[in-house]
Structure 1
Amino acid sequence: MIWIKRMASDVVLLFILLLAAFLYGYGIWNDHYVNTYYTTAVGSMLQSFHNFFFASLDSAGSVTVDKPPVAFWIQTLSAWIFGLHGWSVILPQTLAGVGSVLLVYLLVKPSFGRTAARLAALAMAATPVAAAVSRTNNIDAMLVFTLLLAAWFLFKGTRNHKTGSLLIAFGLIGVAFNEKMLQAYMVVPAFYLFYILAAKVSWKKKTGVLAACTAVMLVISLSWAVIVDSIPADKRPYMGSSGTNSVLNLAFGYNGVSRLTGDRSTGGGSGMPGGGFGGGQLPEMNGELPSFGSGQMPEMNGGMPAMDGAGGQGTAGDGRGQGGGVRGGDRGTAPQGQNEGSGGVPGSGSDDGGRQFGGADGGQGGRGGNFGSGGGMFNTGTAGPLRLFQQELSGQASWLLPFVLFGVTGIFAGLRRRNFTMQHKEALFWLAWLVPAMGFFSIAGFFHQYYLIMMAPPVAALAGAGWFKLWQYYEERSSWLSWLLPVAVPATAGFQWYIIHPYNDTIGSGWSAGVLAAGIAAALLLIMLRVLKGRAKPVLVRAAAVAGLLVLLVGPLYWAFTPITYGLNSMTPAAGPDSSDSGGFGGGRNSSTGVDEKLLAYLKEHNSGEAYLFAAMDYGTAGPYIIDEGEKVVILNGFNNSDVPYTAETLQALVESGKVKYFLVTSGGMGGGRGGGNSDITSWITENGTEVPSADWQGTAAGGAGGTLYEIILD
């Protein structure tokens, strides 16, 4: 425990961790439903072990969420301890985010020293996308923490020749697979490469250890999938978004290869109503938004947003939806606080429609158009080698990439065959993590901005490690390498100006000009001290070198604050002055009808012993009753249109068993039920049910669910 005492005595590190805790946790108590889809699942998982094990979306165990269960098990445990609240399901991700900052420090310090480790930890804390996603119940912060913990065991096991630590490292990758499936394997090449290069054992030993580690990783990775797929389909929930009711298809299809190819179908039919979006194709809109009744447009990869209202018409040029088609002016109406709807930012909702559906005025620069000409499908830019430098993505995790390039140049400039140090090996590890991630995000057709948190650890680690080498060369003043640091600072500052300046109209020009001026000033100071050579005091030289990197953290640190200052879209989180609009129109997709108190009272009064209060077409309607009231509700559709948890026959059997008699049919909604959901199900309900007069149950409050309530009693 000596290292814990040493770490606790590091006041600078403690400050960095407190900063991370503030960035990742301040105000999370204001978010009521967070990502409604996942919070609904947590509410259902609290109701039975069956639902808990399968990560069921609804109380009846009808359909699962579109991800494996480990992160939701942790969220459910938090909700069980603290009660089901928005903040209680966010808390595990916030703690994981802070833990990731600490792990970056611990991973960098042994080889590159305390100052480099502090700078790396600060860079990790200030990564905007890390701050954004750690404030939600999306699982990426937990995924990154698990992979960093695996890296810590990898480094420890390799240094100390501890096979047990190595088995744990690869086992944790298996755990990460059960958090977000194939995305966890993005780091596997880095783990293999590092052990092969750094382990001081024979090739025979290396081969044996890696074989054992791989076996452990695969067994843990596939354990839940094999168990679930071996259970008869009628004894478990339908595997949401799998298309074929198979976990393995979900893992290697929807959450695997489809992310790269951009094919948002799930292998069992279209991922969208009518198959129109099945192959990654969007319908031609001709300046109008398609009407989806009172519901939301479906999401195609866990965050595709929606329309809210009566469909209506969107005008591409003026930035405003007409006829209520897009949640253009709703940003301040959600009861949950800052994160619900489109972020709860007052007075800024008038041009949401334009930002969400592109057009000439739909946001500034490249920020705006999901369906516009520069935003890409999920506001992720245009695929290509420079995608991470485009306006849509660069503000999330790319701020320090130019500095990393200079730093890596410095690290490997003095590489010789007989001088292949642990610093080189660790730098290669981080590069083998970073480069595949950058490659994937440069060409992939199916991801969200917040996935870029995968880049945060290697960028932060290489920034700290690279600074250490550039500082060493600068201090020696003996070759051209000593000029790398003075050049790296203004080059990176110039790139950061490029990221910030399109937002000058929103935040003022002071930020972009200030960051650029600070970078130039720091570079001039470094050049002056370099020219003075030995006449400057060493403490001043070191302070100037540290300041050179610190000024480059001002921009990303400000961006990391934006989810607090500007609001956040909890379903598709991203940082930036338009953070409440991140991912296009995802905020509307995540909004909920809330609890209709009159409907709730009617259903409870007329319940005659049924296990479930009612059945809803979608999770957006059912979620508030599960989350806020702890009621048991059946959800008849999953997230994707290809999810078929019920047929007319199985639904009839459910009614005949006496478990449910009320059905709320809405024309759309979030998840599966778009346009009424499965037409066979809807037809069966309307043909066999008796419509309850709306005056008996329909509340008049703005949060009323609407739709038609049917009572079905079968002899």
Structure 2
Amino acid sequence: MQINKLKKMDWYLVGILVLSAFLFGWGIWDAGSANSFYTAAITSMTKSWSNFWYGAFDPAGFITVDKPPVALWFMAISAKIFGVHGWSVVLPSVLAGIASVYLIYRLLTPKFGPWAGRIAALTMTLTPTVVANERTNNMDAILVLFLLLAVFTLQKAVTKKNLWLVMISFGLIGVAFNVKMLQAFMILPAMLVYYWVAIKQPWKKKTAWLGAGLVSLAVFTLAYPMAVDSANKSSRPYIGSSQTNSLMELAFGYNGTQRLLGQSTGTGGTFAGMGKSSSKNSQMKNFGQQAGKSTTTKTTTTNGQTGTTTPGGTPPTGGQGPTGSKSGTPPTMPTGSKSGTAPTGKKMTGTRPTGKMGKMNGKAGGRGGMGGGIGSAFAIGTAGPFRLFQADLGSQIGWFLPFAILGMVAGWFGFRKRGSKWYHVSSQQEDVLLWAGWFVPVYGFFSVASFFHPYYTIMLAPAIAALTAIGVTAVAKMMKAGKNEADNTNNAETPAAALLESDDAVNQAPARSKFNQGLVARILLSITVLSTLLLQAYYVSSYYSVISVILVVLAILLAGWWFLPRQFGAKIKVLVTAAAVFAMAGFWALTPTLSHTSAAIPFASPSLLSSKGSSDMGGEVNSDLLSYTEKHQGSAKYLFATTDSNSSSGYIIKSGKAVMALGGYNGTDPTMTLKQFKNLVKTGQLKYFVTGNQSKSSDGQISKILAWVKKNGKAVTYSKTQSTTTQSSTTNRGGMGMGGNSSSTLYDLSSIY
């Protein structure tokens, strides 16, 4: 029997939603360009319906971003209404995050009660990576919203036995596929198992309905990719990060198997540092770089143009890997102020973090993933079953992991039907299967995968929040059942007394066990509280050693307190435990909000508190270069061309003009041949080329074009005063070298023909 829907407004929920709105939205007016790669695309999408439909990266519609455009559609609509600003492109993610918190409440309340819904909503709100994600214009916040909508609709379909709701539910997964491709399919096993176990229909009808749902899934998944792939390739943008100009290939290649295996498109290998743990020395070296320390650079000058080379060679492209090193040292944080004028004529501003870790307890920084590694694109720890507990990922998603495990164990055994066979599943156990089915495959993926960013772990947040609430509710039920059994034994209740109960009362009564449920519940909760607080003490130790010690002491005291059978001070015990469990996780979640951070690689860490503003993996603009090319563009279609998207994104945002990202996001896309490039120059569509990330594509096309440009183009002095030195702290994460204080070589191609 389901708990009746609350008729009155739940003010606890209102408070949690207000808290989520504050954490997700406060300070987004300092978002700068947020993730400039996507902001550039949003700028372009507001300029034509074709760009909007395909998710074009540049105003000329030369190439798309590396994902389908569904999430970007919401952001482009917001930008069209309010103008292109950091806050306007981030706003849809903020709203999606608030909606997700509300949905997790609605998903838990019907079967587990309002307190379970509140606990789940609060847990989700205070998960650090959730807050960091909801403050950016990345895809993940909107992806999670669509996945929760799909599960919510499926839950309604099961309750109401409605075919159309089944089809809508699986159709929403298809929509989610067009947000971030195969990542959306991670929860399909959970939905399939839940549907089959939970819906009460004859097996033939159940099978037919499932077939209809899968057809809906296929239609909504494939409709957009097939429409794009079937369009004339000459009349649409090149599909960014694909090797065959195909959206389906992008889904199963770059955004599919390569995420698991760690291969980077077009390079035939992996990015440095992916799936590896840095040694202590390399971690400290990286920390020094992130603390804004300058590194020795080699300065070269060609025709008045100054360039720099950091020791270690050319980094991987597109901000995907570390800069200045082949040893796997994570990228450095960009520094300095950043400003730019949006195409609407309104100024976007935002001060970028200096990357300094600050002083904690008299010591600078933290260790590895807790210090220098956090904020790196690939600070993902060492692959293995405990990777999510390690500092790199755990400090973002791991704060409540022991409670999620408690939810699977206590939830399954605590909500079993009285006197039922082991294979009979109660209504609550169906939901345990659903959330465990979400949690386990996603946990498994992140445990073994080699190519992902730490913020992707937001995929685990709904399952962890739900299982935490289920675990707490199940333990409370088991403790109550244990107390009732003890009371019944003391009252010498006879079996005949149970016969006087109504059928409903018997069905809802606690299961009579061969073991003491209260004792088992106390043991489970004691272990969970102990492990949770010890794990949190580990995450905190790099920054606040005193608080870490306090958490260890609290862990031991609270574990012992929960193990005691007496209920003296029960309410105080609950409040103290809740405060201890949520306190530091909440503080970590608060750090992006306090620092007004909306980063391209979103993360939460006290290191953010030493600086304010936003950072991205590109987006920097050399104002002299931009001024020169705008002045001399003439009738050319493109302002200039460069090797990759991150080297051009800032120029698109600030000028609103077409800049050709020849090799796409990674600089490896075979978008055209040398012959086609020459034709662009010959017909006057392209006059200038700016050196960016000089990577090589798998088929050598980019390297051939670069060689031809350098051989035949004329290097232009576009600034009278150009710096001859640079610091690592002014180099963005991708090592783009096209913005800020560094100079880039500008080649004039107009005199070749």
CA apart distance, 1:133? 1.2
- The 3-state SS of whatever aligns with 1:620 is coil
Partner residue, 1:151: 151
Partner residue, 2:707: 683
Partner residue, 2:436: 431
TM-score computed with the length of structure 1 as normaliser: 0.82
- The 3-state SS of whatever aligns with 2:660 is strand
Does the C-alpha gap of structure 1 residues 198 and 612 become closer, same or farther in structure 2, counting only changes over 3 Å?
Answer: same
Does the C-alpha gap of structure 1 residues 145 and 404 become closer, same or farther in structure 2, counting only changes over 3 Å?
Answer: same
Q: Distance in 2 between matches of 1:297 and 1:169?
A: 46
Larger Rg: 2
TM-score computed with the length of structure 2 as normaliser: 0.78
- The 3-state SS of whatever aligns with 1:400 is helix
Partner residue, 1:655: 681
1:153-192 equivalent positions in 2, closer than 5 A:
153-192=153-192
Q: Indicate yes or no: 2:733 matched with 1:707.
A: no
Q: Distance in 2 between matches of 1:63 and 1:466?
A: 47
Length, aligned pairs only: 665
Q: Indicate yes or no: 2:551 matched with 1:551.
A: no
Q: Deviation per CA, 1:477-524, whole angstroms, max 9, x where unpaired?
A: 246322355444543343344444456565323432333444455455
Does the C-alpha gap of structure 1 residues 522 and 562 become closer, same or farther in structure 2, counting only changes over 3 Å?
Answer: same
1:562 to 591, 595, 607: 591
CA apart distance, 1:70? 0.7
Does the C-alpha gap of structure 1 residues 156 and 281 become closer, same or farther in structure 2, counting only changes over 3 Å?
Answer: closer
Q: Indicate yes or no: 2:226 matched with 1:226.
A: yes
Q: Distance in 2 between matches of 1:23 and 1:197?
A: 37
Amino acid of the structure 1 residue aligned with 2:745? G
- Select between 475-484 and 12-21 the one with higher mean Cα deviation: 475-484
Does the C-alpha gap of structure 1 residues 695 and 200 become closer, same or farther in structure 2, counting only changes over 3 Å?
Answer: closer
Partner residue, 2:665: 639
Identity of aligned residues (%): 36
- Select between 621-630 and 408-417 the one with higher mean Cα deviation: 408-417
- Structure 2, unaligned runs of 5 or more: 286-294, 299-306, 341-347, 486-514, 725-738
Partner residue, 1:249: 249
- Structure 1, unaligned runs of 5 or more: 351-360, 582-586
Amino acid of the structure 2 residue aligned with 1:643? D
Comparing both chains, which one has the higher relative contact order based on Cα–Cα distances under 8 Å and sequence gaps of 6 or more?
A: 2
- The 3-state SS of whatever aligns with 1:634 is strand
Does the C-alpha gap of structure 1 residues 605 and 394 become closer, same or farther in structure 2, counting only changes over 3 Å?
Answer: closer
Q: Indicate yes or no: 2:528 matched with 1:492.
A: yes
- The 3-state SS of whatever aligns with 2:693 is coil
Does the C-alpha gap of structure 1 residues 263 and 521 become closer, same or farther in structure 2, counting only changes over 3 Å?
Answer: same
Partner residue, 2:734: none
Does the C-alpha gap of structure 1 residues 173 and 303 become closer, same or farther in structure 2, counting only changes over 3 Å?
Answer: farther
1:667-678 equivalent positions in 2, closer than 5 A:
667-668=692-693, 678=702
Q: Does the 8 Å contact 1:519/1:548 carry over to 2?
A: no
CA apart distance, 1:711? 4.3
- Select between 206-215 and 557-566 the one with higher mean Cα deviation: 557-566
Partner residue, 1:480: 516
Q: Indicate yes or no: 2:640 matched with 1:624.
A: no
Does the C-alpha gap of structure 1 residues 657 and 498 become closer, same or farther in structure 2, counting only changes over 3 Å?
Answer: farther
Amino acid of the structure 2 residue aligned with 1:652? K
1:400-479 equivalent positions in 2, closer than 5 A:
400-413=400-413, 415-416=416-417, 417=420, 420-476=425-481, 477=483, 478=485
Q: Deviation per CA, 1:237-294, whole angstroms, max 9, x where unpaired?
A: 2222222222111111111122222222x3xx316xxx68599899x99989999956
- The 3-state SS of whatever aligns with 1:398 is helix
CA apart distance, 1:665? 2.0
Q: Deviation per CA, 1:657-677, whole angstroms, max 9, x where unpaired?
A: 44332x1322537x8899x99
Q: Distance in 2 between matches of 1:466 and 1:624?
A: 47
Q: Does the 8 Å contact 2:530/2:559 carry over to 1?
A: no
Partner residue, 1:590: 617
Partner residue, 1:55: 55
- Select between 90-99 and 500-509 the one with higher mean Cα deviation: 500-509
Partner residue, 1:357: none
- The 3-state SS of whatever aligns with 1:592 is coil
CA apart distance, 1:6? 5.5
Amino acid of the structure 2 residue aligned with 1:622? S
- Select between 284-293 and 431-440 the one with higher mean Cα deviation: 284-293
Partner residue, 2:378: 378
Does the C-alpha gap of structure 1 residues 595 and 87 become closer, same or farther in structure 2, counting only changes over 3 Å?
Answer: farther
Does the C-alpha gap of structure 1 residues 695 and 90 become closer, same or farther in structure 2, counting only changes over 3 Å?
Answer: closer
1:47-196 equivalent positions in 2, closer than 5 A:
47-196=47-196
Q: Distance in 1 between matches of 2:126 and 2:111?
A: 22
- The 3-state SS of whatever aligns with 1:103 is helix
Partner residue, 1:575: 604
- C-alpha RMSD of matched pairs (Å): 4.1
Q: Distance in 2 between matches of 1:376 and 1:623?
A: 20
Partner residue, 2:550: 514
CA apart distance, 1:85? 1.2
Q: Distance in 1 between matches of 2:36 and 2:130?
A: 20
Amino acid of the structure 2 residue aligned with 1:592? G
Q: Does the 8 Å contact 2:116/2:473 carry over to 1?
A: yes
Q: Distance in 2 between matches of 1:110 and 1:657?
A: 66
1:387-398 equivalent positions in 2, closer than 5 A:
387-398=387-398
Partner residue, 2:320: 304
Q: Distance in 2 between matches of 1:593 and 1:406?
A: 46
1:252-331 equivalent positions in 2, closer than 5 A:
252-264=252-264, 266=265, 269-270=266-267, 293=308, 304-307=320-323, 311=324, 327=332, 331=335
Q: Does the 8 Å contact 1:293/1:668 carry over to 2?
A: no
Q: Distance in 2 between matches of 1:405 and 1:347?
A: 33
Amino acid of the structure 2 residue aligned with 1:665? V
Amino acid of the structure 1 residue aligned with 2:53? F
Q: Distance in 2 between matches of 1:33 and 1:521?
A: 47
Amino acid of the structure 2 residue aligned with 1:423? Q
Q: Distance in 1 between matches of 2:201 and 2:4?
A: 30
Partner residue, 1:531: 566
Does the C-alpha gap of structure 1 residues 16 and 171 become closer, same or farther in structure 2, counting only changes over 3 Å?
Answer: same
Q: Distance in 2 between matches of 1:165 and 1:573?
A: 35
Q: Distance in 2 between matches of 1:390 and 1:437?
A: 16
Q: Distance in 1 between matches of 2:58 and 2:665?
A: 12
- The 3-state SS of whatever aligns with 1:304 is coil
- The 3-state SS of whatever aligns with 2:243 is coil
